[in-house]
Chains A and B, each alone.
Chain A
């Protein structure tokens, strides 16, 4: 995962009513002053390519954008930006091309579907949405196919609006967009829940419709379903942070670099509006706790999908307490069941149904206890496997056509490519 470079902190030109950064804004911790040299020095030390992030990063003057991206291209060969798409101009597109910038756009649909991404008043909001849509088309015409992030809520995925959202996604497919990340709404306040949140059933229905739609589309993929499928097969080396036992004190997948060059964590776990520094070491207390705590008590004990989901993103935890499992649990569980069922129909024997699950779970908890967080694939190579456990693992790999090699009685290599990639 790339570093998130946030020169302007959480400063933004629109006011999305559900934005997970609103706690910081509410607390007055906006950020906004930046020193490009200090920021780039930190990015250089982190050593990972970066995404220019916000708030809204295109509020930066063009000359500063150019300075940052020129450095990024030289250092990493490429750049990326995550924007709401309302401020993109021809000059920006020239910079995108010149400095090899991958563009991600957050938008929840066209017209009224995007009203939650508010811009002061209704007229300005609709104008901004139209601007984003025309900018997506402009980008495509220029040969830049942006990735899209869509958040599901009552204004774009309720029963009456879902058909329109699906139609809109089909339009994006016709534009030959390749990637769409679907987010469920992260509810942080009672107001958000009351105004914006779908019920669990509505979320499930929307996701199932998207899952069905994906099969009909030619270009656009919803990465969430590919990830869940990969997780169920144990092939999780390319899945995103929400499934990977994120430590909220260090958020390994999000290395934020603020305007003054200091490091910060993913904003999704920031419930106090305080941008806490990263802890000096990683820890997996949340996941050990969830493994042992009953589902009735907001844990995951006994859940056959725990190995894949791990309680999901701590930013979505029940009661905004990161030690609990995700409040979206029932939604993800239903989706896992659906994809699990499809895999079985296709002749696979997913981890969730296999005896190997208990073995891998035990290994994973052992590793968390030691402060490590290996992916599932690496657990198959666990050094302490008994001969019985190796037999079970071998059976699993054979049953699922996952090519592998043995060396001196131990698994030495797994081929982690699969047809979903």
Chain B
């Protein structure tokens, strides 16, 4: 079986049960607790800003000709200041799959931005990908998935493409151990946090990882040590992702995010056991939350007595 057949097989039920439903995109979130919000809301904002700065800096240093940055209303003025400081231009842009934000800006030199706009206008996606610095494997993958399946959300195909064929991965596709390539953990894109400009073609793509590591180096050079430490830690946390009836639900130890995805009546679920758990993460009874250290209610003598009595009474 070749990889595209493997991918097609895994996606088939999801695609068969897909429906075309027109609705606006959405994204909403809930924190697990006030302490988690107090600590991580500001950290996530600082990471977002650091990522803006890192990408703008990367463009000014020629790492890639153009960067596409999604922003929410209040972030636009900060983005424009950064561009000014780094002597690069930006134009408002639109890109599929980034609708969860208020807007999107393309950042680069005037000439590169002109080239980018021309490529977008001509639907020349190869040139667009080149300008944005996509590795060829990721570009080929995105092209294949977009052309064959017309999916707006690439989470599922990228995830399935991470599974190794002919291994337990393929037999148990709902669980995947997030190990060596956590820098390109693409699930955090739902919160606007990503170290790559594109959906990586898989969770173990070496080219995407090289890009992410380069961006992290730039971040450290320009002084975002704390932000990078928080981000690289967060990318290693356990997470669960499910999608049903057009709504994706991402659960992380500190926050739950729901957002619009392709509408399918076939439920898909993914669990990624990570290698780190934050101090502010919640206790809970389901993955990815941590189990309470004390005895569970159901194990107490009183409840056991109840079960015995009720079992005998029925």
Chain A positions near chain B (C-beta within 8 angstroms): 15, 17, 22-23, 25-29, 112, 115-116, 118-122, 154-155, 191, 195-196, 249, 260, 262, 265, 271-281, 283, 285-286, 288-290, 292-294, 297-299, 321, 323-324, 369
Asked if residues A323 and B28 are in contact (CB atoms below 8 Å), the reply is no
Taking A274-B284, A276-B256 as contacts, is the C-beta distance between A289 and B297 under 8 angstroms? no
| Cα–Cα, bound, A292→B247 (Å) | 13
In the assembled complex, B267 has its CB within 8 A of some CB on chain A: yes
User: Which residue of the partner chain A has the closest CB to B259?
Assistant: A285
In the assembled complex, B265 has its CB within 8 A of some CB on chain A: yes
Asked if residues B31 and A15 are in contact (CB atoms below 8 Å), the reply is no
Residues of chain A within 8 A (CB-CB) of B300 are: 15
CB pairs A–B below 8 angstroms (24 shown): A15-B300, A17-B310, A26-B292, A27-B282, A28-B293, A28-B294, A29-B282, A119-B302, A249-B30, A272-B284, A272-B285, A274-B33, A275-B33, A276-B31, A277-B30, A277-B32, A277-B34, A278-B30, A281-B28, A283-B26, A285-B26, A286-B247, A292-B246, A323-B245
In the assembled complex, B77 has its CB within 8 A of some CB on chain A: no
| Cα–Cα, bound, A297→B266 (Å) | 8
User: Which residue of the partner chain A has the closest CB to B310?
Assistant: A195
The 4 A-B residue pairs with the shortest CB-CB distance in the complex, in nearest-first order? A28-B292, A289-B245, A297-B265, A276-B30
Asked if residues A22 and B245 are in contact (CB atoms below 8 Å), the reply is no
| Cα–Cα, bound, A288→B24 (Å) | 11
Asked if residues B245 and A276 are in contact (CB atoms below 8 Å), the reply is no
* Closest CB in chain A relative to B133 CB, distance in Å: 34
| Cα–Cα, bound, A17→B300 (Å) | 12
Asked if residues B310 and A15 are in contact (CB atoms below 8 Å), the reply is no
User: Which residue of the partner chain B has the closest CB to A120?
Assistant: B302
- B305 is contacted by which of A28, A120, A262, A281 (Cβ under 8 Å)? A120
| Cα–Cα, bound, A10→B14 (Å) | 39
Among A265, A289, A321, chain B packs the most CB atoms within 10 A around the CB of A289
- Total cross-chain contacts (CB, 8 A): 151
In the assembled complex, B23 has its CB within 8 A of some CB on chain A: yes
Residues of chain A within 8 A (CB-CB) of B17 are: 297
* Interface size band for B: 35 or more
Asked if residues A260 and B34 are in contact (CB atoms below 8 Å), the reply is yes
Asked if residues A294 and B265 are in contact (CB atoms below 8 Å), the reply is yes
In the assembled complex, B242 has its CB within 8 A of some CB on chain A: yes
User: Which residue of the partner chain B has the closest CB to A14?
Assistant: B302
Residues of chain B within 8 A (CB-CB) of A285 are: 26, 245-247, 258, 260
- B283 is contacted by which of A154, A249, A273, A290 (Cβ under 8 Å)? A273
Asked if residues B298 and A26 are in contact (CB atoms below 8 Å), the reply is yes
| Cα–Cα, bound, A196→B256 (Å) | 31
Asked if residues B306 and A118 are in contact (CB atoms below 8 Å), the reply is yes
| Cα–Cα, bound, A262→B33 (Å) | 9
In the assembled complex, B218 has its CB within 8 A of some CB on chain A: no
| Cα–Cα, bound, A292→B296 (Å) | 40
* Closest CB in chain A relative to B241 CB, distance in Å: 13
Taking A122-B309, A279-B29, A299-B265 as contacts, is the C-beta distance between A26 and B297 under 8 angstroms? yes
Residues of chain A within 8 A (CB-CB) of B34 are: 260, 262, 277
Q: B272-314: which residues lie under 8 A (CB-CB) from chain A?
A: 282-286, 289, 291-294, 296-298, 300, 302-303, 305-307, 309-311, 313-314
In the assembled complex, B102 has its CB within 8 A of some CB on chain A: no
| Cα–Cα, bound, A409→B24 (Å) | 31
| Cα–Cα, bound, A150→B146 (Å) | 53
- B21 is contacted by which of A191, A271, A288 (Cβ under 8 Å)? A288
Taking A27-B285, A274-B289, A288-B23 as contacts, is the C-beta distance between A17 and B306 under 8 angstroms? yes
User: Which residue of the partner chain A has the closest CB to B244?
Assistant: A323
In the assembled complex, B37 has its CB within 8 A of some CB on chain A: yes
Residues of chain A within 8 A (CB-CB) of B256 are: 276
Instruction: Knowing that A22-B297, A118-B306, A280-B28 touch, tell me 8 more A-B residue pairs with CB under 8 angstroms.
Output: A115-B313, A262-B34, A274-B283, A277-B37, A283-B258, A285-B260, A294-B265, A324-B244
Residues of chain A within 8 A (CB-CB) of B258 are: 249, 283, 285
* Closest CB in chain B relative to A15 CB, distance in Å: 5
Asked if residues B285 and A289 are in contact (CB atoms below 8 Å), the reply is no
* Closest CB in chain B relative to A272 CB, distance in Å: 4
Asked if residues B245 and A290 are in contact (CB atoms below 8 Å), the reply is yes
In the assembled complex, B90 has its CB within 8 A of some CB on chain A: no
Asked if residues A279 and B28 are in contact (CB atoms below 8 Å), the reply is yes
* Closest CB in chain B relative to A201 CB, distance in Å: 17
User: Which residue of the partner chain B has the closest CB to A122?
Assistant: B309
In the assembled complex, B19 has its CB within 8 A of some CB on chain A: yes
- B265 is contacted by which of A122, A195, A278, A298 (Cβ under 8 Å)? A298
Contact with A along B64-82 (1 / 0, CB 8 A): 0000000000000000000
- B33 is contacted by which of A271, A277, A321 (Cβ under 8 Å)? A277
| Cα–Cα, bound, A155→B258 (Å) | 38
Residues of chain A within 8 A (CB-CB) of B247 are: 285-286, 289, 323
Residues of chain B within 8 A (CB-CB) of A119 are: 302
Asked if residues A15 and B302 are in contact (CB atoms below 8 Å), the reply is yes
User: Which residue of the partner chain B has the closest CB to A25?
Assistant: B297
Q: B55-111: which residues lie under 8 A (CB-CB) from chain A?
A: none
| Cα–Cα, bound, A371→B17 (Å) | 26
User: Which residue of the partner chain A has the closest CB to B257?
Assistant: A279
User: Which residue of the partner chain A has the closest CB to B260?
Assistant: A285
Asked if residues B307 and A26 are in contact (CB atoms below 8 Å), the reply is no
In the assembled complex, B211 has its CB within 8 A of some CB on chain A: no
* Closest CB in chain B relative to A378 CB, distance in Å: 21
| Cα–Cα, bound, A294→B298 (Å) | 37
